[in-house]
Amino acid sequence: MQEILSRLRADSRVSTLLRTVEKSLTLFDPPNGELKLLNLSLNRMRALGAKQALRCMPSMLAVNEISWCNLQCPQCPTHGTPEWHKFQNGKDRCLSSEIMDRLIGESFQTATLIKTTTHGEPFLSPHLDSILDGCLEHGTPAQVVTNATRLPIEQVAKALVLSDRIVLSIDGVTRYAFEKIRKGAKFDKVLHNICVLVSAANALPEKLRPDLFIRPTVMASNLRELPAFVDFARWLGVPNVCGEFVIETAPHVADENVRLHKPLYNHVAAEATRRAEMHGVRLGFPAPFDGVQPDADFPFAGDRRCITNWPDSYVPEFDADEVNLSVEAIMADAAKLVVASMDYYLKHSWEHERTRIAAGQDDAEIKQTKQLVDSVIANLCDDGKPEIAFCGFVDWGVYVRPDAGVAVCCAGGPVVGSLAEESIEEIWNGKNYQAFREEFYSSSPPAVCQSCRFLRKVPKRLVADSLRYSDD
């Protein structure tokens, strides 16, 4: 992979474009930075206790504008059974263009992060161009999680320039496990696409380069391969490997549950950590189970899994020679991708400068609001309670569904409004969401939150200090 990157950088068209972009990077100052920070402060102030008084906008939008996918991974909560897959791929499981455009116009300016297509495949979305162009116009970073089965060059080029993070979901680094779990995908094709995307990303100037992640869903069927994900990332030139335990979705995959395989998990997690430390790969797997002795030979539980028997020839390691890859084909596609990314950046970077100057006109108002933030924060911390409940959604973001419903989160939180009837500002500050927040911060949070992995307790001071504008 290193050879591909060197050849890519030496390509005459690529290197000329890269030089032009490097020169213009000093201009790259995304618009609305002050506004976004201020809005974030207002949201965090609600978490600190100023709940009802403030009107603000969501800082994060998880926009699930479609739920369509071309794969049918058995463990997937959206596509894992034929019935779910059929329902989620229905024509009507798509936000209307009118609502999508309204949402972008109304909320992207104040948002600090847009997650695209969280439950389907982003590169199938008819709205992806509008979302990414909206991110560009309003200076908002995007985050893309993809199965990498498709590589539409123009859209991937935009995603490369605009994303602060791209997550490549693959659940196996051997052909056998990959094709059993990622049902409908071809190992060689996906690896080609991943090599193209990673080479192109690594060729971009650092300031434009998204942070790349390899992400398996950690489950019984790929447990023994977890350490090999680190080797795979290193081979590719991807700096991060992350993963979450599989969420139990349906009886046919109930035995994928990692809690049924704790000793084996502790063994592979330790080995993955050892390899990550040795090779300088950042690893984000769940912590090992406390007090459980690692055991490499711990037997698999039950047979409700994606893989029930492995062939005798199966070796749970990544083997680059096992993959049918063409260096020339990767080079050609990666060069196209870098050129398309740079063209997109150069065509639009001046717009950032123009918007930034226009935004400067609001400076006086922004200054006043900053002073207000500081004085309110000082009072909020003096109520004798050192900790607050904290969740990545309640005072940060929303989850938008293909049917225009707006839910508190993607983890079972209630629907609090519909974009077909109200604006996002009305929903975010409306009585349904405020009532949910009240309960969330009370001594008995909603049942859905009590069992949720996103819920944490954090020191109030930590939140307050991160918001304060003045140093004293």
Taking CB under 6 A as the criterion, the residue among 32, 39, 59, 78 binding ligand SF4 is 78
The answer to whether 247 contacts ligand SAM (rule: CB under 6 A) is: yes
Taking CB under 6 A as the criterion, the residue among 17, 76, 104, 238 binding ligand SAM is 76
Across the beta sheet with 142-146, what order do the strands follow? 282-284, 240-242, 211-215, 163-169, 142-146, 113-116, 60-63, 397-400, 405-407, 415-418
The answer to whether 73 contacts ligand SF4 (rule: CB under 6 A) is: yes
> If residue 390 lies in a helix (H) or strand (E), which one and from where to where?
strand 387-390
Question: What is the DSSP-derived secondary structure letter of residue 247?
Answer: P
The answer to whether 69 contacts ligand SF4 (rule: CB under 6 A) is: yes
The answer to whether 212 contacts ligand SF4 (rule: CB under 6 A) is: no
The answer to whether 233 contacts ligand SF4 (rule: CB under 6 A) is: no
Residue 344 CA to residue 158 CA, distance in Å, equals 7
Nearer residue to ligand SAM within complex by CB, 46 or 79: 79
Residue 399 CA to residue 411 CA, distance in Å, equals 10
Binding mask 136-155 for ligand SF4 (x = CB under 6 A): -----------x--------
Interaction residues for ligand SF4, span 285-324 (CB under 6 A): none
Taking CB under 6 A as the criterion, the residue among 197, 246, 411, 427 binding ligand SAM is 246
Q: What is the dihedral of CA 28, 32, 38, 41, to 10 degrees?
A: -60
Segment lying near ligand SAM (by CB under 6 A), choices 97-105, 143-151, 316-324, 420-428: 143-151
The answer to whether 244 contacts ligand SAM (rule: CB under 6 A) is: yes
The answer to whether 215 contacts ligand SAM (rule: CB under 6 A) is: yes
CB of 76 to ligand SAM, least distance (A): 4
Nearer residue to ligand SF4 within complex by CB, 153 or 247: 247
C-alpha gyration radius of the chain: 23
Contacts of 62 (CB under 8 A, 6+ apart): 115, 118, 397, 398, 399, 400, 410
Nearer residue to ligand SF4 within complex by CB, 177 or 331: 177
Phi and psi at 184, nearest 5°, equal 110, -15
Maximum distance among all alpha carbons in the chain? 71
The answer to whether 238 contacts ligand SAM (rule: CB under 6 A) is: no
146 interface partner picked from ligand SAM, ligand SF4, none, CB below 5 to 8 A per type: ligand SAM
Q: Assign 274 to helix, strand or coil.
A: helix
Q: What is the dihedral of CA 66, 70, 74, 79, to 10 degrees?
A: 20
The answer to whether 79 contacts ligand SF4 (rule: CB under 6 A) is: yes
Interaction residues for ligand SF4, span 94-133 (CB under 6 A): 120-121
CB of 78 to ligand SAM, least distance (A): 6
Q: Which tokens hold the place of 21?
A: 């972009």
| Nearest in space to 113 (alpha carbons), one of 39, 163, 186 | 163
Note the residues at the interface with ligand SAM (CB under 6 A).
69, 73, 75-78, 119, 121, 145-147, 169, 215, 217, 244, 246-247, 249
Note the residues at the interface with ligand SF4 (CB under 6 A).
69, 71-73, 76, 78-79, 120-121, 147, 169
